[in-house]
């Protein structure tokens, strides 16, 4: 695997792969890779001949009181994991390479609708930062396909929408969330948890499973289900951010008639904010 830091080197390496007739896949990440990221790269290497991963902790998507400064940076370990997962090219730009004119005045890509509410409400500007950096990466690599985790369900919806609305010829693939044995969704931010917080953290997903089971059994009083799960979160020591049941394709609030649902949660444990979701297809098997 080659590691490059500049757009010029990136474009040259991708151009060579393309000249060899290779299909290009992109896996954008912020590093501190875990088994969830490895699954994205493995999927990419099954679906394309040349896999590009990026590691860039994007300042544009962090709020002023968020963890940009402390976000874990573990490049050497990440490189080993990427090699093992089948990555061919790693792009690790500096902030100046991504934003040579600075971030003030940077053209922003803004996706209305699906980016509103949920994380969009709790983290103002976050999805503009994500959409902008993902658009830049797409323009730099021009991949045939790009792979993202379903753990960031709203982010995936935002990216699917921007690709559709801006006519980008890129196939977007969502990969299922990878979980620890106790159900906790793998996340770079899990590393912030103390042993006690880590023991409590899987309660979040168990709450989603309880809601999903109740809905699958015919319950349609969504407000009551949410209220009950929120109370359980508080009792377990969480500070709830949001817990909502939405229609899975549009992300609008769910109605009793919807068949494709997603239950989305964000909650703080100590100062760490965890997110998770569970999609539920009432016409098929639970996802
Ligand atoms: O999901 C992430 O790690 C980031 O939001 C992404 C897509 C790499 C953009 O910075």
User: Looking at ligand 1, which atom is closest to the CA of residue 54?
Assistant: 8
Tokens (6 digits) for 4 = 């490059």
pLDDT-derived band at 287, boundaries 50, 70, 90: very low
CATH code at position 214: 3.30.1300.10
Strand ordering across the sheet containing 260-269: 239-247, 260-269, 272-281
- pLDDT at position 105: 95
Residue of the CA atom closest to atom 8 of ligand 1: 29
Catalytic residue among 34, 37, 88, 126: 37
Those residues with Cβ within 8 angstroms of residue 186's Cβ, 6 or more apart along the chain or in another chain: 34, 35, 36, 151, 177, 178, 179, 180
- Partnered with residue 246 across adjacent β-strands are 253, 262
Kindly state whether residue 182 falls inside one of the protein's structural domains. Answer: no
Say how far apart CA 25 and CA 64 lie, in whole Å: 32
Q: Mean pLDDT, to the nearest integer, of 110-129? A: 98
- pLDDT at position 266: 98
First to last CA, the chain: 34
User: Is 161 a pocket residue for ligand 1 (Cβ < 6 Å)?
Assistant: no
Those residues with Cβ within 8 angstroms of residue 4's Cβ, 6 or more apart along the chain or in another chain: 10, 13, 89, 90, 91, 92
CATH code at position 58: 3.40.50.620
* Co-location of 10 and 65 in the same domain: yes
* Co-location of 210 and 268 in the same domain: yes
Examine the fold and report which residue of 117, 142, 175 is the final residue of a domain before the chain moves on.
175
Residue 115 is given by DSSP the state T
Residue of the CA atom closest to atom 1 of ligand 1: 29
* Co-location of 8 and 49 in the same domain: yes
Residue of the CA atom closest to atom 3 of ligand 1: 29
Kindly state whether residue 213 falls inside one of the protein's structural domains. Answer: yes
Query: How far is it between the farthest Cα atoms of the chain?
Result: 58
Q: What's the pLDDT tens digit per position in 129-141? A: 999 999 999 999 9
* Co-location of 207 and 267 in the same domain: yes
C-alpha closest to that of 159 among 148, 151, 169: 148
Examine the fold and report which residue of 175, 201, 228 is the final residue of a domain before the chain moves on.
175
User: Is 30 a pocket residue for ligand 1 (Cβ < 6 Å)?
Assistant: yes
Domain count within the chain: 2
Q: Which element (helix H / strand E) includes 276?
A: strand 272-281
Q: What's the pLDDT tens digit per position in 155-211? A: 999 999 999 999 999 999 999 999 999 999 999 999 999 999 999 999 999 999 999
* Co-location of 246 and 110 in the same domain: no
* Co-location of 169 and 194 in the same domain: no
User: Looking at ligand 1, which atom is closest to the CA of residue 149?
Assistant: 1
User: Is 55 a pocket residue for ligand 1 (Cβ < 6 Å)?
Assistant: no
Tell me which residue has tokens 């609008």. Answer: 252
Examine the fold and report which residue of 146, 175, 204 is the final residue of a domain before the chain moves on.
175
* Co-location of 233 and 266 in the same domain: yes
- pLDDT at position 15: 98
Tokens (6 digits) for 158 = 């935002």
Would residue 126 show up in a list of annotated catalytic residues for this protein?
Answer: no
* Co-location of 13 and 129 in the same domain: yes
pLDDT-derived band at 286, boundaries 50, 70, 90: very low
Containing structural domain, residue 101: 2-175
């Amino acid at each position: 695997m080659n590691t490059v830091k500049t757009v010029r080197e990136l474009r040259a390496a991708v151009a060579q792969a393309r000249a060899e007739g290779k299909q290009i896949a992109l896996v954008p990440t912020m590093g501190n890779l875990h088994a969830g990221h490895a699954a994205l790269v493995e999927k990419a290497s099954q679906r394309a001949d040349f896999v590009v991963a990026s590691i860039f902790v994007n300042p544009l998507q962090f709020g002023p009181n968020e963890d940009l400064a402390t976000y874990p940076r573990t490049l050497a370990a990440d490189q080993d994991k990427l090699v093992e997962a089948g990555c061919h090219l790693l792009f690790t730009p500096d902030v100046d390479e991504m934003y040579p004119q600075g971030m003030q005045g940077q053209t922003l890509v803004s996706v209305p609708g699906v980016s509103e509410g949920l994380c969009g409400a709790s983290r103002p500007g976050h999805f503009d930062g994500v959409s902008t950096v993902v658009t830049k990466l797409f323009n730099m690599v021009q991949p045939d396909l790009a792979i993202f985790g379903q753990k960031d369900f709203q982010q995936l919806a935002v990216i699917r929408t921007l690709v559709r609305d801006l006519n980008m010829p890129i196939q977007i693939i969502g990969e299922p969330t990878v979980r620890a044995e106790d159900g906790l969704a793998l996340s770079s931010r899990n590393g912030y948890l103390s042993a006690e917080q880590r023991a409590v953290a899987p309660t979040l997903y168990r709450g989603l499973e309880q809601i999903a089971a109740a809905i699958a059994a015919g319950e349609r009083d969504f407000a009551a289900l949410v209220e009950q799960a929120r109370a359980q979160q508080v009792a377990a020591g969480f500070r709830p951010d949001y817990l909502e049941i939405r229609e899975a394709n549009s992300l609008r609030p769910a109605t009793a008639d919807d068949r494709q649902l997603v239950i989305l949660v964000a909650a703080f444990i100590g100062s760490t904010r965890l997110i998770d979701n569970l999609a539920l297809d009432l016409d098929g098997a639970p996802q």
